[in-house]
Structure 1
């Protein structure tokens, strides 16, 4: 079959070249329109439900909202996990589904179940299904600052103009606004005036509701004309609301303004934002799952550009690049394109110098980009975006692609040289066909073995599997595309460019290299034992150092943005957090490493984040000058801002943080979950664990995610006093809710903006804890009774956040570690917790990237072992020689040893999961060269009639030297720019992979050239018959 394909390609060579050229041009033209993203969709299908219930504390949210929804949703098909968080006024439930489910069907089933569950929730607590975001979530962060404009006015413009414009951009999932202070009409009760008027709270609420009524008047039909009745009766301003009638007292009308101060004010804050240290708004634009990150970011920029002239006329400053993950994609693609261009030029130069013939060099060179372009078409057909992992798969496939390109044409050229020396030369096309068939069978078999070796990457589970699946698919697509090109385009181009020549061009440099190589083999024959001893010591030494290599799930991404977090004591106010934030902004503003700073505290309405107000995030854009891409800059920044006593700091890159959050729900690389009998018990255990693990070397910050000691004022009704004064429990709770959370009694429409009308206390009284005792409560006889007479009020500590996992209450400890220390820290933590006696039935589990990385590495090693067994069986079937299989197996430890040595020399002894994938690819490179050499030995004996001896082994190695040297050199030259760019944005995965591959390529090539011929001549047995072993794979 292979021979038939090559024969057809030669016969219709012009048609083949034009056809494949057209496909390559189509693929190249489609690249600008391809979907580009930072990462593949590595998050499992997840549906998030948020329920706002203003005024309820975390325990009430847990019992009245979260528990009910969890119980009702737990039976849905396909659910893999249920996690929830109950905080003040907010319940957030994440339903994680098994991979491969229909996301639209999942969301529909959740929506259907919520319809029946809503009725059992507290009034006005309506569950909302949040938009499905991409795994990386944020597309762009925008800062808004208007020094001369009130924050309420800026919030109104944002809500009515800016946010709708951004939501209209295709691919945008949500626009979350931190610091939003939308205006509301507040009826701030005057206790004394209300007492004097004789009216109660219920009457005030009814009057406000009536004043904001909006009813249609209908129309009058006169017979000849229809007249619409437009009644402008709704109250739309604070002044009009103040004049609304409450009732009559002592024969005089009483208005709402007589018993309360009516004003426009923002609601109580649970979040805020600082833009360059000044109060403002922070807009986080998130992209839909599957949307193109670059397109979404570009669309958001265009939407802002369209409205920015009008905004600037109003004094609004726009920071459109406060944090832009899309910038990392652009920079990564630009850097990768530049590196690949440099590599392409170097490859072409090396091919020209090595082959000394532009036609042969052109054939080899053209095959490389054509194979890559065909692979991109395959990826596009499979729906895989051009993300970092897919590009990494294409990059590490360069070795096999170059090997395919060089081996075929080198063998063709060598056979053409031999054909020229014949007394009666054969037809050139026949020589080309036979030369292609001669090596293609072995190459196909080697490609099959490489594909088997790479299957462990495709078998990775969880987040690691979803991250690396595009890499594996891209790699396999590239080597299969390369094989297709080698079977069709290479023979066709050889037929077109070489058909009119009577022979090939001798490799002048290669002839000199062959002579030198022959002399070297003679020396090795006399010193083979010494060389073997050195090789064994090297392999054993590198193997012994393997346990000392530090591992991490993924490398630190060199983004232009850095995210710093700070955590203050539980109960710290927003005002204090903003004071810290302004101090931080001032410090960072003086640093040359920093270009931009925006911050947000607490949470945003209907945002995906829901931290307490004692948690804040600082988004830092690094300057492009100096060492902004160096970890030194990050350490310098953290050292500069970590100056506030009692505040803990840690930092991540944006992409690293998103991966941590997907793995465990938290932004830390290591998460310890504590389960037990009660929340109090597991919180106490968590505190003891925290005390034990903080001193561990490598731990930067460790904290309890849901601290149990947040200060609160506990209000306990005095039932006897309530009976004495005639106060009902509902009246007591209504008064507290109305006074502090605010009771919404109506709403007015200001254009497209809805302003709620709420009854509450004056701001000064709401900010005074002592004023709580005098809170007016309406008794059944309409008397006003102070809260202090019917309830006990005391300050206590309680949890501000309650976590559930699979319906179980959990306490979580987040641990931030230094890069590369995750495994060592995890082991130390396990030892210390094992020595700790936990209370009752308490137990702990571990999660995060440190755990996921270990599981992924174990999976990779286990499946790689199985793959090696399969490959050994395939080699045994093909070679029919146990000794031949053993010689092939020698390539693995040599390649791995070279990769480990490269990790120590150039990566500081730290490798990520991506670099381990590079180790897997090494065996494929070493296998191809060794297999082709052994197959060539078999042809020399079984086809050319030579006797198997040391001289035959020497000749076969010298025959294969040009292909091996050119392949190794060109592969190294192609990967060298990636290796040299290690640490540049976008090269964090490809760079270490290239370094590992280069190290293994060097040692595997040395094995093939120096040791394998000697070992083969001594231990291999090749008979003259095809049945005597080492049967060349047939086509």
Structure 2
């Protein structure tokens, strides 16, 4: 089959060239149009439910909304996680589904269950499914800056001028508006006037709704025309609203303005945004699931540029987060490494082949295979990201291996001065190496198959790595047996044969050293085994982690203050800290902080919680040597603000942590149980133990207790004497504290809500419990009574936040880890907590975080890799017909791993999933070189040579191809090993392992394998 393919290619050379030119053109088109992202889509199929209930405490929301919904949702099939966060007036319920579950099916199932439970929820509950986004959908953030505009005016621009336009961008799920004040038309009833005119609040609300409306009547015929009839009395402005007639007393119309004061106001707000010590407003662009990040951001920027001319003079759109910047930087890091790797590989080829034309023939493989890989990625929906491009960089050194062997053997055939036509010699040279080349390539493909079996986050991260490597290796194999013989037949001749003089000197030196090694096999074997044993000891003490933390370029610091703090006080602290940071750290270009809940409810934080986004200056302008030193200095400066829990993270890192555990922090320790106070006590005890562990930083126990409440308990029967029910009293008080919406004014597309209540800048006019106690209440009977006359007011405490998972309450302790491996930290922490913290009956502790992915990936690989090794042994047995020779080749593998372990130990890197991928890559290269050497030994059996001559001559003749395959793979990864910038951290452990392993593997192949072959053959021959 292969012989026929080679023969056909050499007979139809122009056809083959035409086919590859066409495929290259398609590859270029795929490369130019390939979607680009920082990471592959690592998010699960996730559906989020956001429910709001204004005025309800966390416990009430949990009992009346969260629990009924959770009970209904638990029955949906294929779900893996059901967790919720319940806080004042809001609950966020998240469902994750099994990999491969259709997102539309999942949303339909959740929507149907919500509909079935709707009748059980309180009347004030509102909400439903969140936009179809993912935890990593936050793509673009900006603030509106204009000193001449109030916060209310800025938010009005965002709500009604910018947001509707940005939502038309393809791929945008929604635009989250944060900070500022939402404009309302506010009506503050005058109780004395209401009594004078004989109105109750309920009557006034009904009268206003009936007066402020447009009605549809029907049609009437007017000659040949048909006219639509409508009634029109809806107000379109504050002035028209004031003139609405809501009643008639004594034959005189009663207007709304007669019963109270109308003014421009703002809604009660549950969050705010500050920038560099001043309040501002912010927009956050949320992208749809599976959208092209780069094109979404480009579309948003295009719309914003078009909008600038229509904004008020002096308005600046201050962009402080742009995911495309990270994408360009990270992908640029990999692209530079890829370019450098290609150039290095070409130079290495030129050195070993010693022939410009032969080097060109092999080098031609690289761009063609890369473009064919891009074509395959485009056809299968793989984006160009850190992981897929990283796989391509890994493959650069290996994808030339097949062509190197073909061209090297072709040069040998041409240099032998055989009286045969050039085409025949090329055909013979290619056919001779077909079996070992195919076997070697298949083995490389097989060794990467375990990555395709990974599940969860690690599977989504590393399956693109394996897939692109497989694509590249298949393309390189096809090219080696079709295009390479054709190009070689055109460019190479008998003059190109032979070995350059400097390589002959290298071969001579190798022959001498090999002779020495063959004379002392026991000594060399003992040294090799000793080094192998030592590497095993080093492996056991080397730290383990899931993945190196990628430097995203910016910092997020999370604050958690006292649970009872007000929004204004929380924002004031944020402003003070921001001014200090900007003044003290020139490394920080600007600080934007978000406190409290966002408008969409996608990230429902409390008033005491703040995410502080720090946009950093270029690192070459810093006073600090690295980002960790900068973070340490910032952390130390924040100690001047006692009572604030602090945690450091990054934009994507924060969302990945939340996706994995529902909380932020590298490690999350969850304590499950029923009683909130007990959970809080246990969490604090666990946090104290964790803080003592080496490497623990930013350790915090979630403040679930400490929320202060004023409980208003109606005196039995007192209010009813005056015609007021408990529900009516609650509604009346809500009007006074937060306001109640009774309608809206519509003008164009702008909708302004009408609120009953007296709010000042989004805060209630009632500012203290004493004022509330003496507040006058208008009874339906027309009398005014003090609230204290009809109700008792007490101050109590309760949970500020209730976290639930699998329908159970839990408290959580989060921590980051610095200067220590993650898995080792968790193991020591588990022992310390287990010995120091006792749990009551019915309570349990679970550990979560990235380390779970590391453990799961390791267990998966330990299961699959033995099967892969068995397949490789089967392939080797098929090639050699001997289990002994198959075992001899496989003996190279542990020594290749040995070099990788030494490399990790010397560089201080941990064993991680990227490092494991490096070990897998070593498995393929080590076996490939062994196949090349042993295959040649077996082919020399046909010659009348002694065993020693066969071993020495075979090893020397294979020196060049073995060194070429090893050095191209090794030097091709040097750019990754020394790369800097976002994304380099992830690929660096992989490159280090492969480089170290290739050094040891090559030495073993060149020296220990000949010893082993000599020993096996001598025993077989007696």
**TM-score band, normalised by the shorter chain?**
over 0.9
- Indicate the residue corresponding to 1:56 in structure 2: 56
- Indicate the residue corresponding to 2:632 in structure 1: 635
TM alignment of 1:486-501, pairs within 5 A: 486-498=480-492, 501=494
Q: CA deviation at 1:19?
A: 1.2
Q: CA deviation at 1:871?
A: 2.5
1:143 aligns with 2:143: yes
Q: CA deviation at 1:527?
A: 4.0
- Indicate the residue corresponding to 1:883 in structure 2: 884
- Indicate the residue corresponding to 2:536 in structure 1: 543
Separation in 1 of the partners of 2:116 and 2:640? 52
The one of 962, 985, 994 aligned to 1:988: 985
Decide whether the 8 Å contact of 2:739 with 2:759 is kept in 1. Answer: no
Q: CA deviation at 1:191?
A: 4.4
Q: CA deviation at 1:384?
A: 1.1
1:153 aligns with 2:153: yes
1:317 aligns with 2:310: no
The one of 670, 684, 689 aligned to 1:673: 670
- Indicate the residue corresponding to 2:513 in structure 1: 520
CA pair 550-182 structure 1, distance change in 2 beyond 3 A:
same
Decide whether the 8 Å contact of 2:821 with 2:910 is kept in 1. Answer: no
- Indicate the residue corresponding to 1:565 in structure 2: 558
- Indicate the residue corresponding to 1:398 in structure 2: 396
The one of 336, 341, 344 aligned to 1:343: 341
CA pair 849-481 structure 1, distance change in 2 beyond 3 A:
same
Q: CA deviation at 1:945?
A: 4.4
- Indicate the residue corresponding to 2:902 in structure 1: 901
How big is each residue's C-alpha offset from its partner over 1:884-908, in whole Å with a ceiling of 9 and x where there is no partner?
23322322221112112222223x2
- Indicate the residue corresponding to 2:700 in structure 1: 703
Q: CA deviation at 1:1002?
A: 0.8
Q: CA deviation at 1:70?
A: 2.0
1:507 aligns with 2:500: yes
Separation in 2 of the partners of 1:630 and 1:77? 44
Q: CA deviation at 1:723?
A: 5.1
Separation in 2 of the partners of 1:750 and 1:696? 61
Decide whether the 8 Å contact of 2:777 with 2:787 is kept in 1. Answer: yes
- Indicate the residue corresponding to 1:39 in structure 2: 39
- Indicate the residue corresponding to 2:744 in structure 1: 747
- Indicate the residue corresponding to 2:363 in structure 1: 365
Decide whether the 8 Å contact of 1:938 with 1:1022 is kept in 2. Answer: no
SS at match of 1:757: strand
- Indicate the residue corresponding to 2:15 in structure 1: 15
Q: CA deviation at 1:169?
A: 0.9
TM alignment of 1:116-131, pairs within 5 A: 116-131=116-131
Separation in 2 of the partners of 1:368 and 1:977? 16
Separation in 2 of the partners of 1:114 and 1:514? 76
Decide whether the 8 Å contact of 2:398 with 2:965 is kept in 1. Answer: no
Q: CA deviation at 1:813?
A: 2.4
- Indicate the residue corresponding to 2:466 in structure 1: 472
Q: CA deviation at 1:748?
A: 0.8
SS at match of 1:122: coil
Q: CA deviation at 1:218?
A: 5.5
Decide whether the 8 Å contact of 2:362 with 2:403 is kept in 1. Answer: yes
Decide whether the 8 Å contact of 1:553 with 1:853 is kept in 2. Answer: yes
How big is each residue's C-alpha offset from its partner over 1:338-389, in whole Å with a ceiling of 9 and x where there is no partner?
2322222222223223322221101110112212221222222111111111
- Tell which deviates more after alignment, 857-866 or 174-183: 857-866
Decide whether the 8 Å contact of 2:66 with 2:91 is kept in 1. Answer: yes
Decide whether the 8 Å contact of 2:275 with 2:590 is kept in 1. Answer: no
- Indicate the residue corresponding to 1:830 in structure 2: 830
SS at match of 1:136: coil
The one of 601, 613, 620 aligned to 2:607: 613
The one of 496, 507, 531 aligned to 2:524: 531
Q: CA deviation at 1:303?
A: 0.7
Separation in 1 of the partners of 2:176 and 2:875? 56
How many pairs does the alignment contain? Answer: 1014
- Indicate the residue corresponding to 1:1032 in structure 2: none
How big is each residue's C-alpha offset from its partner over 1:494-513, in whole Å with a ceiling of 9 and x where there is no partner?
12222x54662432222111
1:859 aligns with 2:857: no
SS at match of 1:215: strand
TM alignment of 1:230-241, pairs within 5 A: 233-241=233-241
- Indicate the residue corresponding to 1:648 in structure 2: 645
- Indicate the residue corresponding to 1:332 in structure 2: 330
- Indicate the residue corresponding to 2:964 in structure 1: 966
Q: CA deviation at 1:928?
A: 0.5
Separation in 2 of the partners of 1:226 and 1:623? 67
Q: CA deviation at 1:301?
A: 0.7
TM alignment of 1:607-1006, pairs within 5 A: 607-626=601-620, 630-705=627-702, 707-722=704-719, 727-763=724-760, 765-779=765-779, 781-818=781-818, 820-835=820-835, 836-906=837-907, 908-941=908-941, 943-947=942-946, 949-981=947-979, 983-1006=980-1003
- Tell which deviates more after alignment, 526-535 or 379-388: 526-535
How big is each residue's C-alpha offset from its partner over 1:984-1008, in whole Å with a ceiling of 9 and x where there is no partner?
2232222221122111111111111
Q: CA deviation at 1:224?
A: 6.0
Separation in 2 of the partners of 1:298 and 1:762? 40
- Tell which deviates more after alignment, 221-230 or 730-739: 221-230
- Tell which deviates more after alignment, 386-395 or 633-642: 633-642
Separation in 2 of the partners of 1:395 and 1:636? 36
Decide whether the 8 Å contact of 2:274 with 2:571 is kept in 1. Answer: yes
- Indicate the residue corresponding to 1:604 in structure 2: 598
How big is each residue's C-alpha offset from its partner over 1:303-332, in whole Å with a ceiling of 9 and x where there is no partner?
100001222x43321112x11221111112
Decide whether the 8 Å contact of 1:552 with 1:819 is kept in 2. Answer: no
SS at match of 1:42: coil
- Indicate the residue corresponding to 1:210 in structure 2: 210
Q: CA deviation at 1:1023?
A: 7.5
- Indicate the residue corresponding to 1:1033 in structure 2: none
Q: CA deviation at 1:281?
A: 1.3
Decide whether the 8 Å contact of 1:27 with 1:374 is kept in 2. Answer: yes
CA pair 1021-67 structure 1, distance change in 2 beyond 3 A:
farther
Q: CA deviation at 1:477?
A: 1.4
Q: CA deviation at 1:434?
A: 2.2
Q: Unmatched 5+ residue regions in structure 2?
A: none
Decide whether the 8 Å contact of 1:145 with 1:278 is kept in 2. Answer: no
- Tell which deviates more after alignment, 637-646 or 824-833: 637-646
- Indicate the residue corresponding to 2:428 in structure 1: 434
Q: CA deviation at 1:954?
A: 0.9
1:379 aligns with 2:377: yes
- Tell which deviates more after alignment, 233-242 or 486-495: 233-242
Q: CA deviation at 1:232?
A: 5.1
- Tell which deviates more after alignment, 876-885 or 956-965: 876-885
CA pair 387-235 structure 1, distance change in 2 beyond 3 A:
same
Separation in 1 of the partners of 2:958 and 2:215? 91
1:280 aligns with 2:280: yes
- Indicate the residue corresponding to 1:1031 in structure 2: none
Q: CA deviation at 1:689?
A: 2.2
How big is each residue's C-alpha offset from its partner over 1:901-921, in whole Å with a ceiling of 9 and x where there is no partner?
222223x23243212211211
TM-score, length of structure 2 as denominator length: 0.95
Separation in 2 of the partners of 1:217 and 1:638? 67
TM alignment of 1:287-306, pairs within 5 A: 287-306=287-306
Decide whether the 8 Å contact of 1:552 with 1:911 is kept in 2. Answer: yes
CA pair 351-781 structure 1, distance change in 2 beyond 3 A:
same
Q: CA deviation at 1:259?
A: 4.0
Separation in 2 of the partners of 1:207 and 1:780? 15
Separation in 1 of the partners of 2:306 and 2:450? 49
